[in-house]
């Protein structure tokens, strides 16, 4: 009896599909050459580093910055291999830029971070970049003032959905210190109305730590009304999501890092009503300063902001020498 053909047997003749024959000698020579040189191109190193960052859950914006600035470094200096890099290359790169010192510092930090990862992977023998720095003036970024927040909320028409959304987002950032990116991805499930508490899991927080943040009855009312209208809008435009802050068409309020409806609206309100420091970052700083003035410890403020260390929180607060002296006087 004839043996039954396996379903895994391919009857079609595909033997001529790939005509190039494997040359064992050539392949061996190429492998030997790779072993002898054992050199990493900067582009190859960048691809590996960014891939590891993606797997580790780094923000897309951070990964994009790595790619942009390292490629700019390569194109400017016409360098190829990681092991040929030295301090002079970094100095030459910085000198080639016609930008502000702050922008240079930002780009340098990104390049240093990339080089550090190359060192950790064994592609560079020493950290020649460590002493290199760009000195910039320490510009104090002020936080939003409670007075300006009250003015803005008083002029917004809360019977209009968009202005209600903007008012709620503004007050929420000022009262909880949430980053704008967290606001974008905040969902109904994160709000505990019964206990006036935000229960935010690490998936939408920069440092991936859970946040528990209390809010007052005013925000409870605003959020309740907003969520009710969100459901109506989503139903009208056949959108399926549970975001707290949505567009007039029921979709997410930010499609990229640079396109955020609420952020643009806040800039518009600031110009229209002559208000200072009405932007997401200023609202976050205002939250921190407001807590400090009411007696909260820097440790608690740091935890509420989701900072990794107290040094970052201290930068937010920008305490001058007079303020420190006055605060210390209370403990004499």
pLDDT of residue 313: 78
What is the per-residue pLDDT for 294?
A: 86
pLDDT classification of 102: cutoffs 50, 70, 90: confident
pLDDT at 278: 93
64-73, 232-241, 251-260: segment of lowest average pLDDT: 251-260
The mean pLDDT value for 48-61 works out to 89
Higher-pLDDT residue of 84 and 135 is: 84
Strand partners, 246: 252
Range in 58-72, 109-123, 180-194, 251-265 the model is least confident about: 251-265
Average pLDDT over residues 281-287: 91
Q: Of 160, 144, 99, which Cα lies nearest the Cα of 284?
A: 144
The token pair that represents 98 in the structure block: 């016609």
Set out the domains of the chain in order of their start, with CATH numbers: 42-120 (1.10.150), 146-329 (1.10.443.10)
Distance CA 118, CA 82 (A): 8
Q: How many CB atoms lie within 10 A of CB 89?
A: 17
Tell me the pTM.
0.61
Q: Measured between alpha carbons, how far is residue 154 from residues 46, 228, 234, 264, 270 in Å?
A: 50, 22, 28, 19, 13
Q: For the chain, report the end-to-end CA distance as a whole number of angstroms.
A: 104
Spatial separation of the C-alpha atoms in residues 293 and 318, rounded to whole Å: 13
Whether residue 16 is predicted with pLDDT greater than 70 in this model: the reply is no
Residue 172: predicted pLDDT: 97
Average pLDDT over residues 167-175: 96
| Residue 32 confidence (pLDDT) above 70 | no
Cα-flanking dihedrals φ and ψ of residue 145, to 5°? -95, 145
Q: How far apart are CA 172 and CA 181, in angstroms?
A: 13
| Mean pLDDT along residues 302-318 | 77
CA 50, 53, 58, 62 torsion-angle sign: negative
| Predicted confidence (pLDDT) at residue 29 exceeds the cutoff of 60 | no
| pLDDT of 127 over the 90 cut | yes
- pLDDT score, position 35: 43
Q: What is the CA radius of gyration of the chain?
A: 27
Whether the per-residue pLDDT at 36 is higher than 60: the answer is: no
Average pLDDT, integer, range 200-223: 90
CA distance 254 to 181: 9
For 139-150, what is the mean pLDDT? 84
Pull the structure tokens for residue 306.
């989701």
**How much is the average pLDDT of 100-116?**
92
């Amino acid at each position: 009896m004839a043996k039954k053909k396996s379903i895994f047997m391919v009857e079609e003749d595909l033997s001529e599909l790939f005509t190039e024959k494997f040359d064992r000698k050539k392949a061996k020579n190429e492998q030997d050459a790779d072993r002898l040189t054992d050199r990493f191109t900067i582009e190859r190193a960048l691809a590996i580093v960014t891939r590891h960052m993606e797997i580790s859950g780094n923000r897309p914006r951070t990964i994009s910055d790595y790619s942009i600035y390292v490629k700019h470094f390569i194109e400017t200096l016409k360098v190829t291999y990681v092991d040929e890099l030295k301090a002079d290359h970094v100095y030459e790169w910085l000198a080639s830029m016609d930008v502000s010192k702050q922008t240079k510092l930002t780009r340098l930090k990104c390049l240093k971070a990339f080089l550090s990862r190359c060192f950790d992977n064994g592609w560079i023998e020493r950290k020649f970049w460590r002493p290199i720095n760009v000195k910039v003036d320490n510009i104090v970024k002020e936080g939003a003032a409670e007075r300006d927040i009250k003015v803005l909320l008083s002029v917004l028409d809360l019977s209009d959905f968009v202005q209600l959304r903007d008012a709620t987002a503004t007050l929420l950032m000022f009262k909880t210190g949430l980053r704008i990116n967290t606001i974008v991805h905040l969902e109904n499930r994160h709000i505990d109305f019964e206990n006036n508490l935000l229960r935010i899991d690490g998936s939408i927080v920069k440092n991936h730590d859970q946040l528990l943040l209390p809010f007052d009855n005013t925000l409870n009312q605003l959020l309740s009304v907003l969520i009710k209208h969100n459901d109506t809008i989503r139903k009208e435009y056949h959108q399926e999501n549970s975001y707290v802050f949505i567009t007039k068409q029921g979709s997410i309020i930010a499609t990229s890092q640079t396109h955020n409806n609420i952020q643009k609206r806040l800039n518009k309100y600031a110009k229209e009503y002559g208000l200072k420091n009405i932007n997401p970052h200023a609202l976050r700083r205002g939250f921190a300063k407001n807590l400090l003035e009411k007696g909260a410890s820097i440790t608690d403020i740091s935890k509420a902001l989701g900072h990794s260390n107290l040094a970052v929180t201290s930068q937010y607060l920008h305490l001058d020498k007079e303020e420190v002296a006055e605060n210390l006087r209370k403990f004499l």
